[in-house]
Amino acid sequence: MIEVKDLTKRFAERTAVDHVSFVVNKGEILGFLGPNGAGKTTTMRILTGFLPATSGTAQVAGFDVFNDSLEVRKRIGYLPENPPLYLDMSVTAYLEFVARIKNVPAEKRQARVSDALEKTNLADKRHELIKRLSRGYKQRVGLAQALVHDPEVIILDEPTVGLDPKQIIEVRHLIKGLAGSHTIILSTHILPEVSMTCDRVVIINRGRIAAIDTPANLTTQLKGGQNVRIEVQADQNAVCAAIRELPGVRKVSGEPAGGNGRVAITVEASPGQDVRSQIASKVVGKGWPLYELRGVNLSLEEIFLELTTEDSEHAEASPN
């Protein structure tokens, strides 16, 4: 549905997007994950035809975003970072206007507008002026605007910014519900959002793609071995030494945990090894009181930091 090849965008003094390539399949939700200023917004703006690329190509539904811009724009619903609202319009009037400029035929307009209002839970605010709405409602009007013409592709730039936790959950449900019939790209810098809503994740940093995969794969791929965290009441050095003897243990580190002479030990196992039962029997065998033992999965957050710091070290090492 969306095909991006070697996309590059240079502004006067910096390269915002640097040879980015990816494919989004029909009905898929793709997450753009990256720190602020990583190039997420610029990539989205190129896809929507708002900005031209410096080099490289991007196709949406088989149309080139630059050469067939109008065809692409017909098929895209776009929520920019700041929802593009006319504050002195009512919600309905605004959505009707958007439906008009998005080429929704007159006989379908009413139905499309009420459909968008319903999907975004705005039906009871439909006659309100947009300027009187709270931040969360304004964001929802922005979302409704991106849906009103029932586009094949929906591009959402940080759709949950400014919403309260309950609204965030609603919006995530809404986005998940749209997948299948729509192809969706959304950007965020909130990690759980990606693992909860997206089928695949593009991690982007300094304009370059650091990784593309499913959230689950990214976690296992980078995890290597499993980490185990234990909390025991004993001498730290003695515990570390005892565990280090176990087969399959790669690295052990410890730190005092609270009072009572307890220590927290983090054990890194070699890939494919489950060392939990061995640790448990060792600790119990020594007669040390065991308070906690759990496997720790590398969170997306850590993966993200690992990938992006690696990338920046690489960037600093290279001559430019």
Residue 93 binds other proteins, judged by CB under 8 A: yes
113-152: contacts with other proteins (CB under 8 A): 145
- Distances in whole angstroms, Cα of residue 204 to Cα of each of 98, 148, 160, 166: 31, 29, 19, 28
State in angstroms the smallest separation of the CB of 292 from other proteins. 50
Residue 179 binds other proteins, judged by CB under 8 A: no
- Taking CB under 8 A as the criterion, the residue among 1, 22, 31, 45 binding other proteins is 45
- Taking CB under 8 A as the criterion, the residue among 29, 61, 76, 252 binding other proteins is 76
Cα dihedral: 156, 154, 108, 102 (round 10) = 80
Q: In the complex with other proteins, which residue's Cβ is closer, 93 or 240?
A: 93
Residue 216 binds other proteins, judged by CB under 8 A: no
Residue among 95, 167, 100 nearest 128 (CA): 95
Stretch near other proteins under the rule CB under 8 A, chosen from 20-28, 42-50, 277-285, 300-308: 42-50
- Taking CB under 8 A as the criterion, the residue among 25, 86, 108, 221 binding other proteins is 86
Residues 6+ apart with CB under 8 A from 102: 74, 77, 148, 149, 151
Residue 241 binds other proteins, judged by CB under 8 A: no
- Taking CB under 8 A as the criterion, the residue among 3, 8, 85, 128 binding other proteins is 85
Residue 82 binds other proteins, judged by CB under 8 A: yes
Dist. CA 217–CA 198, nearest whole Å: 13
Residue 100 binds other proteins, judged by CB under 8 A: yes
Q: In the complex with other proteins, which residue's Cβ is closer, 40 or 172?
A: 40
β-pair partners for 179: 182
- Taking CB under 8 A as the criterion, the residue among 8, 27, 89, 248 binding other proteins is 89
Residue 189 binds other proteins, judged by CB under 8 A: no
Residue 49 binds other proteins, judged by CB under 8 A: yes
Q: In the complex with other proteins, which residue's Cβ is closer, 101 or 317?
A: 101
Dist. CA 93–CA 99, nearest whole Å: 10
State in angstroms the smallest separation of the CB of 46 from other proteins. 10
- Taking CB under 8 A as the criterion, the residue among 97, 214, 233, 248 binding other proteins is 97
Residue for token digits 């993200």? Answer: 304
Task: By CB under 8 A, name the binding residues for other proteins.
Answer: 11-12, 42, 45, 48-52, 70-71, 73-74, 76, 78, 80, 82-89, 93, 97-98, 100-103, 145
